[in-house]
Amino acid sequence: MPQQVFRVANTAGMWLRTEPVVSEATEKVLLPNGQLVTKLADTDKTDWWRVQTTVSGQVLEGFSNRTLLVADTGSQPAPALITTTLAALQQVAPWARDVYLQAIRQGQPLFDEAGITTPQRMAHFLAQAMQETGAFTVLRESMSYSAPRMLEIFGVDHHSAKITEAEAAGLAHNEQALAERVYGLGNPSKAAELGNTKPGDGFLYRGNGVLQTTGRGAHRRTGEACGIDFEGHPELVTVPEHALKPALHEWTANRLNRFADQDDIRTITLRINGGFNGFDERKAFLAKLRPLLS
């Protein structure tokens, strides 16, 4: 019998408990409204079920009150490749954000449309995504840097921003100011490349989501292709319903399945990254994923 999937239907959330008893001592983790929960079994108490859910990449089991759950009609038992993928991520990305895990769990139609239907293609896609997101822990690019690290990345001879030592102290750990200096109007050539035209665009359209979509122009183009206003609402890039769409659009637009089939991670990295930043890390993720997905 296929497992039944439910969603938490309570604005205050629902406690996953160690026993089917309401008390502070049994509180395990508070699940947010909308969290997916799988029923494992009934209990000897009519209103209580033994359930399973995923929190921060960890599969947790416990007891919850069924009156706080509603059937999730949109969720079906995950196909084999999705099931294997989620199991692999528990090992290689144990702290993955629930946003990304939920997107993958319900992403079979999107993966099918993009042609990511084999373990080899999935491994290459995930290796790129994991490097871009810190193993699925990063939603938006952090622009909080110490002055020395900032100079290593965005300093003279390292980046078109050419940040000087004199500037760095004032920009240290100031995310909005640094983003504007690097990606926005404080760096005209990069702003033009990214389509950033207004004050604040550097921060608003900094790296975003699975493949860290960057710039007003990329958000606009991706949104037009996906039929979603990512330019007007960049926060939509990191909700489960849409999180895979920008990344899979980029994947298909660059025709990367054929390079995945050829095991050509170098070309995939070049087309995703525009260079080879984090190339060794991408290869390492691929090496870990491949046997888990095969």
pLDDT digits (tens, 9 = 90+) for 124-170: 999 999 999 999 999 999 999 999 999 999 999 999 999 999 999 99
Residue ranges of alpha helices (H) inside the chain are 80-92, 98-105, 108-114, 119-133, 147-154, 165-171, 175-182, 188-194, 201-204, 216-226, 244-253, 257-261, 265-273, 279-293
Mean of the pLDDT values across residues 26-44? 90
Same domain, 123 and 263: yes
Same domain, 131 and 266: yes
The answer to whether residues 180 and 191 touch, using CB atoms and an 8 Å cutoff, is no
Q: Which amino acid is at 14?
A: M
- Residue 268 burial class via C-beta count within 10 angstroms: exposed 0-12, middle 13-18, buried 19 and up: buried
- Does residue 251 carry a pLDDT above 90? yes
Q: What is the pLDDT, as a whole number, of residue 71?
A: 85
Q: Is 59 helix (H, G, I), strand (E, B) or coil?
A: strand
Same domain, 157 and 216: yes
The answer to whether residues 181 and 174 touch, using CB atoms and an 8 Å cutoff, is no
Q: What is the CATH number of the domain that holds 11?
A: 2.30.30.40
pLDDT band at 80 (very low <50, low <70, confident <90, very high): confident
Q: What is the pLDDT, as a whole number, of residue 34?
A: 83
Same domain, 214 and 167: yes
- Domain end position, chosen among 71, 89, 120: 71
- Does residue 9 carry a pLDDT above 60? yes
- Does residue 1 carry a pLDDT above 50? no
Same domain, 247 and 123: yes
Give me the percent of the chain exceeding a pLDDT of 90: 82
- Does residue 18 carry a pLDDT above 80? yes
- Domain end position, chosen among 218, 235, 252: 235
The answer to whether residues 129 and 247 touch, using CB atoms and an 8 Å cutoff, is yes
- Does residue 95 carry a pLDDT above 80? yes
- Does residue 79 carry a pLDDT above 80? no
Selected residue with higher pLDDT from 229 and 56: 229
- Does residue 3 carry a pLDDT above 70? no
Mean of the pLDDT values across residues 191-220? 96
Distances (CA, A) of 130 to 47, 87, 126, 158, 283: 40, 15, 6, 24, 11
Segments forming the whole domain that contains residue 289 = 80-139+243-293
- Does residue 57 carry a pLDDT above 80? no
> What total of structural domains would you count in the chain?
3
According to DSSP, residue 283 is labeled: H
Average pLDDT, the chain: 92
pLDDT band at 56 (very low <50, low <70, confident <90, very high): low
* Nearest of 278, 285, 255, 281 to residue 268 by alpha carbon: 255
pTM more than 0.75? no
Same domain, 39 and 164: no
Q: What is the pLDDT, as a whole number, of residue 73?
A: 65
Secondary element (H or E) of residue 39: strand 36-42
Same domain, 115 and 157: no
Same domain, 256 and 205: no
